């Protein structure tokens, strides 16, 4: 959940979306691709995939990978409680009345637009090849910035 401030940015303009800095790209519409790359490299059954599903009329879908202790997204690792506290406070500051629910996601919806729509019509995830270029190699490279979760102590 990130509000892009790039002048002239529109999420449907694939060239401008692809040109966003890495962190913004994986915050604004490609978080699910980063989650998939994370699971591909580090995934174990204890890792949950969660959709932060905005309440009706609210904005700000986001997909994360988590455990009982930590959350991983475009920021890297965060303490679980601190992450959700920050996300709710920030979004309510930007959009008064904002709310969302946490929805567990099956892993296979992360890279399939069709499966994401079958799961929930409000979940409109693009497959990696539906970006200007294949987003999965970009996610794999971005993931190299972060340590493996084995050593994460929160």
8 band by pLDDT with thresholds 50, 70 and 90: low
Confirm if 17 and 25 have CB atoms less than 8 A apart.
Answer: yes
Amino acid 20: pLDDT: 87
pLDDT tens sequence across 78-103: 999 999 999 999 999 988 999 999 99
Helices and strands (DSSP H and E) totals, the chain: 6, 5
- Tokens 């959009």 belong to 95
Amino acid 19: pLDDT: 87
Across 90-114, b (16+ Cβ under 10 Å) vs e yields ebeeeeeebebeeeebeeebbbbee
Pairing type for strands 76-79 and 100-104 reads unpaired
Global pTM?
A: 0.90
Domain ranges of the chain: 18-144
How confident is the model over 128-150, as a mean pLDDT? 94
For the chain, the C-alpha Rg in angstroms (whole number) is 15
State how far the Cα of 14 lies from the Cα of 34, in Å rounded to an integer: 18
Top-confidence residue, 153 or 73: 73
pLDDT tens sequence across 19-61: 889 999 999 889 999 999 999 999 999 999 999 999 998 988 8
pLDDT over 90 percentage in the chain: 72
2 band by pLDDT with thresholds 50, 70 and 90: very low
């Amino acid at each position: 959940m990130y509000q892009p401030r790039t002048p002239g940015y529109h999420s449907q303009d694939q060239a401008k979306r692809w040109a966003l800095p890495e962190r913004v790209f994986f915050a604004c519409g490609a978080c699910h691709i980063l989650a998939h790359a994370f699971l591909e490299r580090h995934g174990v059954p204890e890792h949950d995939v969660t959709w932060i599903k905005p309440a009706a009329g609210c904005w700000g879908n986001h997909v994360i990978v988590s455990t009982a202790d930590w959350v991983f997204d475009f920021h890297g690792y965060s303490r679980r409680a601190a992450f959700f506290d920050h996300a709710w406070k920030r979004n309510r500051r930007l959009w008064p009345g904002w709310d969302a629910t946490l929805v567990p996601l099956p892993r296979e919806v992360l890279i399939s637009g069709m499966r994401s729509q079958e799961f929930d019509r409000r979940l409109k995830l693009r497959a990696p090849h539906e970006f200007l270029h294949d987003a999965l190699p970009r996610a794999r490279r971005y993931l190299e910035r972060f340590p493996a979760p084995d050593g994460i102590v929160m």
